[in-house]
Amino acid sequence: MALYLLCAITYSVVTPAWEAPDEVGHFDFIQHLRQAKTLPDIRTAVPGEAHQPPLYYLAATLFTLPADTSSPVGAFRANPDFMWRNTGGTDINAGLHGNAQTFPYQGQGLALQLARLTSVAMGALTVFFIIKTGWLIFPDQPQIGLLAGALAAFTPQFLFISGAVNNDNLLILATTGACWQMVKVLKQPQQWQQWTFVGLWLATAVLSKLTGAAVGLTAVFALLLCAIIVRSWTMLLRGGAGLLLPPLLLSGWWFVRNQLLYGDPLALSIYEDIFAVNVRRSALQWADFREFTQVQFRSFWGVFGWMNIEAPDWFYTAVKCLVLAALLGSFLFFMRRRQESLSRFQKQALAVLGTAVLAQEGIILYSLTRCKIVCYQGRFLLPALVAIMLFISFGLLQLVPPHWYVHALTVALPLLVGLALFMALRVIRPAYAMIPSNPLGLPSIWL
């Protein structure tokens, strides 16, 4: 956890202000909350993130209270040569940078860094719940949970998003917590009251981002599975009530507000009017799916900036080998009929995690029917991070003799940390035209 904090804070510091996806719009939401003390209206706000549910921004607003956001020091200054501005520019910098955006931070520059720390804290909790989920499913093999937590904690893309102002961070935490809670319920399925806690995580996810609905599909599957286990319709009804009440009571107001303001509980129609440039007007083609799979895979593991800074090719090759090794390990596990060593609970828990991946990817694939390449980003699959990393960890450790587990983790941890820091200091940092001040006399490697 300490190494994760070191890496995540490093990413938040070396990534120049405003150089994470949509960070300007996310910060504008926080600014609006601080100045207007109300939720923004999509119709009057500058196009950005005003359509998003507010929970992440409320949390980030609390973190930014020590900063004077009325001061323009460190504020965003648009770069007219930015490559995505459709003006013929080729510069990767979304903003113009200078010493005002470096330590010692002041004004809006300080507020941005404090808001980024909100994301860092949420990422730390996400890693914690990934490890706890692994320990809950495999109590006799704690190395599976530890390796899954390490793989998640030091995935460069996760660290990059964790060091940025982005509501994905609260969504990832909420879905991870929900999966952990569902696994807990599976262990004692007769305790239907536990579904209330799943409902609280679900409410948090929905109030973070609408794509949090994917974890609701996973929860329904887990509830049906529990009802089948205990063979009780009563449990299904009571558990369903416990699951649904928290989202209805805590997040239902958001949809009522949207209906009253925009005549649409999801506000999708007005969103598509404002962001028409991102709306798909033609049918999906096979070429679109091929591009989608490539972009999603690479950007799940590490594509930085505004999707315009890629890692070295050897990194993606290494990740492919890692995933293939995990698949091989899982294949050998089942070929040797070792699945009989899994308890009924473990099989059910893995089924729920598999459903979480399918539900999240299903939501993404559905969005492709209405959204162009902007929806190809791999970070949209991060809400299924706990399931993906546990499956990879499980598969990899099948290739290692049990008495070598500790040695394998001892080797893997410094490699993962070193790779994460390499991406921050030798891929992201040199890509930007910005020379920060160095009042602390830090070694040049950190600058």
The tokens for 133 are 């989920």
Question: Residue 434: pLDDT band by 50, 70, 90 thresholds?
Answer: low
Question: Residue 47: pLDDT band by 50, 70, 90 thresholds?
Answer: low
Question: Residue 437: pLDDT band by 50, 70, 90 thresholds?
Answer: very low
Q: What is the pLDDT of residue 230?
A: 87
Q: What is the pLDDT of residue 273?
A: 85
Please give the Cα distance from 17 to 112 (Å, whole number): 7
The answer, yes or no, to whether residue 24 has pLDDT greater than 90, is yes
Q: In sequence order, which residues have a C-beta less than 8 Å from that of residue 68 and are 6 or more positions away? A: 106, 107, 110, 111
Give the pairing type, strands 309-310 and 303-304. Answer: antiparallel
The tokens for 127 are 């890693």
Q: What is the pLDDT of residue 135?
A: 98
Closest CA to 179 of 391, 398, 405, 333: 391
How distant is the alpha carbon of residue 22 from its chain centre? 14
């990879």: which residue's tokens? Answer: 392
The answer, yes or no, to whether residue 187 has pLDDT greater than 80, is yes
Q: What is the pLDDT of residue 439?
A: 44
Mean pLDDT of 254-282: 89
Q: What is the pLDDT of residue 168?
A: 97
For every residue of 417-430, DSSP letters joined together read HHHHHHHIIIIIGG
Q: How deeply is 140 buried, as exposed, middle or buried, from its count of CB atoms within 10 A (0-12, 13-18, 19+)?
A: exposed
Report the 10 Å Cβ neighbour count for 9: 17
Q: What is the pLDDT of residue 44?
A: 82
Mean pLDDT of 282-306: 94
The answer, yes or no, to whether residue 188 has pLDDT greater than 90, is no
Put residue 378 in one of left, alpha, beta given phi > 0 → left and psi -120 to 50 → alpha: alpha
Angle at 343 between CA 338 and CA 348, to 5 degrees: 110
Residue 7 CA: distances (Å) to CA of 219, 356, 368: 32, 27, 33
The answer, yes or no, to whether residue 279 has pLDDT greater than 90, is no
Report the 10 Å Cβ neighbour count for 223: 23
Mean pLDDT of 360-384: 93
The answer, yes or no, to whether residue 16 has pLDDT greater than 50, is yes
Q: What is the pLDDT of residue 213?
A: 86
Task: Name the least confident of 35-49, 171-185, 373-387.
Answer: 35-49
Mean pLDDT of 214-234: 92
pLDDT (tens digit, 9 = 90+) per residue, 301-347? 999 999 999 999 999 999 999 999 999 999 999 888 777 889 999 99
Q: What is the pLDDT of residue 447?
A: 40
The tokens for 252 are 């239902």
Residue 125 CA: distances (Å) to CA of 153, 198, 229, 392: 10, 16, 31, 20
pLDDT (tens digit, 9 = 90+) per residue, 233-264? 888 999 999 999 999 999 999 999 999 999 99
Q: What is the pLDDT of residue 445?
A: 41
Q: What is the pLDDT of residue 446?
A: 41
Closest CA to 211 of 77, 401, 365, 413: 365
| Span between the terminal Cα atoms of the chain, in Å | 24
Please check whether residue 48 is in contact with residue 197, taking contact to mean a CB–CB distance below 8 angstroms: no
How distant is the alpha carbon of residue 261 from its chain centre? 29
The answer, yes or no, to whether residue 436 has pLDDT greater than 70, is no
Q: What is the pLDDT of residue 277?
A: 81
């009924």: which residue's tokens? Answer: 344
Q: What is the pLDDT of residue 102?
A: 83
Report the 10 Å Cβ neighbour count for 284: 12
